[in-house]
A = this chain, B = another copy of it.
Amino acid sequence: MAAELTAHELIAKHRPTLDQALEAIRTRAYWSPHPEHPKAYGENGSLDAAAGKAAFDALLNTRLDLGQPGTDDWVGGEVSPYGIELGISYPHADVDVLIPAMRAGQRAWRDAGAETRALVCVEILKRISDRTHEFAHAVMHTSGQAFMMAFQAGGPHAQDRGLEAVAYAYAEQVRTPGTAEWTKPQGKRDPLALTKQFTPVPRGLALLIGCNTFPTWNGYPGLFASLATGNAVLVKPHPRAVLPLALTVQIARQVLAETGFDPNLVALAAERPGEGIAKTLATRPEVRIIDYTGSTSFGDWLEANARQAQVYTEKAGVNTVIVHSTDSYKGMLSNLAFSLSLYSGQMCTTPQNLLIPRDGIRTDEGPKTFDEVTADLARAVDGLLGDDARANALLGAIVNPDVKARLEAAAGLGEVALASREISNPEFPGAVVRTPVIVKLDGAKPDDEAAYMSECFGPVSFAVAVDSVNDAVELLRRTVREKGAMTVGAYTTDSEVERSIEEVCLEEAAQLSLNLTGGVYVNQTAAFSDFHGSGGNPAANAALCDGAFVANRFRVVEVRREV
């Protein structure tokens, strides 16, 4: 294929972005090349709000033909959590045809080298970025996120995570030089001299198993880490959230073709209802890398059964916030209220258990009893969500019936401190919108333990009364060790308590946010700076993103010759 975009042009266009990303992961200061504001789009080839909406609408009730080899059928059936049927069909693959075709371009992709691969990935991300408004609707109508969140988390923040993975992958591959001259002195004899050539080689085929709630944000790190390290990537989206990843695959294929590579290096594996192809694909011998976000049970299954592959999983955890004391009671309440409400608590990072001493806490507004803290938090959530338009913009929609069922069952687990309310969405009457429930539990009661020691994914949190802050710290330790945690939060003005919470997080490898009272929330992480998960507790075996996330996606082959 003749490249429409040469390596030279790619370098001129994207090398500065790659260099900035490399610098950002080194300093971990704030940086992003992807604008967060919807109004920032519409120039230099990017779609503005209207064009993005029109592009999304034009996709509805069509067949998304990716031009993939081995397409034997068309499948679809996504229904938006907002109630509309997308009516889009996607290629269903005969994987015995598709997989060999995906391998055909791997040699040229390997030979292109780390820099070209990275810059092609940056170009893919740039094209995705240009279509952020279109992706926002695609993410909204598959995940149930409210528009603004779908726009930001599904757009620039996901693109940031993808670019971060590209930067790590590039840095890892160029740690070893392409060639080396090795000369070893031999006393009076001639030195030994070798020329050595080092080539990063891909492991093989990478499989990305996407999730329902964050198809792009959780999908891009693995996709781009694998692609940038030379692997072909097969994308198996969640059946309820195909569109955002199908568009991603489409763009990747276009860019690969335009840069002179085989578009089949990236392909989609959509499935028929109930087909369950993830298991089949995950155990194919060609599949050497798997990235997965989803339930603990399937993540564990992958780790146990896909033994031919490197498996990177983000599973489930039980996130804890210890509430001990604060010098900003209002700030704490509003910060927590936001964290519990955002996307109806359907984030792997949303706090579930709020551990509060039975005797109450110290605050800048005087001592507050356990019941007062719980009631004040309930009021803060109520206040935040009191206006229906604001509530809709914050909550989004319940992603699936299981979450709704869990929410409804939660009220029966203990005394309800804040009841869940139904909110109507005037724009999308079919949307299931619910405010969070807060249930009081007793940390000393074995019956209650069954509830708070299980992940209850969705808008459910537990205010757990504990005998002392030491008990809270020990319960935190046990929860992280046994159940895992993507996030831990704590409020304390006591440096000794703070130190003991920090120590538990260091020992159990959990990411800790302390005394957040402003506009940063425990459930949000920023690419290039924050790690998402630690990879060191049961919630996830990898962190986004670090050296370990990329280093084993390729191997280095050395060829040495005498000089």
Contacts and interface: CB of A to CB of B under 8 A. Distances in A.
Contacts of A445: none
Interface string A144-178: 00000000000000000000000000001001110
A428 interface: no
Interface in A486-526: 502-503, 505-507, 509-520, 526
Given A176-B546, A201-B509, A183 B30 contact: yes
B560 A26 contact: no
Interface in A290-310: 303-304, 307
Interface in A380-412: none
Interface string A533-563: 0111000000100111001100111111110
A201 B536 contact: yes
Contact of A555 (B180, B535, B559): B535
Given A520-B192, A534-B557, A27 B512 contact: no
Contacts of A424: none
A474 interface: no
A503 B535 CA distance: 35
Contact of A506 (B25, B110, B503): B110
Nearest to A533: B555
Nearest to A303: B307
Number of copies: 2
B519 A192 contact: yes
A546 B552 CA distance: 10
Q: How large is the interface on A (under 10, 10 to 19, 20 to 34, 35 or more residues)?
A: 35 or more
A27 B519 contact: no
A510 B509 CA distance: 35
Contacts of A558: 511-512, 530-531
B557 A515 contact: no
A315 to B, nearest CB: 14
B509 A180 contact: no
Contacts of A56: none
Contacts of A530: 196, 558, 560
Contact of A186 (B26, B29, B519, B561): B519
Main secondary structure of the interface of A (DSSP, over half): mixed
A194 B520 contact: yes
A517 B561 CA distance: 10
A203 interface: yes
A25 B177 CA distance: 9
A199 interface: yes
Interface in A1-46: 25-30
B560 A176 contact: no
Contacts of A180: 27-29, 529
A557 B505 contact: yes
A479 to B, nearest CB: 16
Given A29-B182, A546-B556, A516 B562 contact: yes
A189 to B, nearest CB: 8
13 contacts: A28-B180, A28-B182, A29-B182, A30-B182, A30-B183, A182-B529, A203-B536, A512-B557, A513-B559, A534-B555, A534-B556, A536-B557, A547-B551
Given A511-B557, A548-B548, 9 more contacts: A110-B506, A182-B529, A192-B520, A518-B562, A520-B560, A546-B556, A547-B547, A548-B551, A552-B552
Interface of A: 25-30, 107, 110, 172, 175-177, 180-186, 192, 194, 196, 198-199, 201, 203, 303-304, 307, 502-503, 505-507, 509-520, 526, 529-531, 534-536, 543, 546-548, 551-552, 555-562
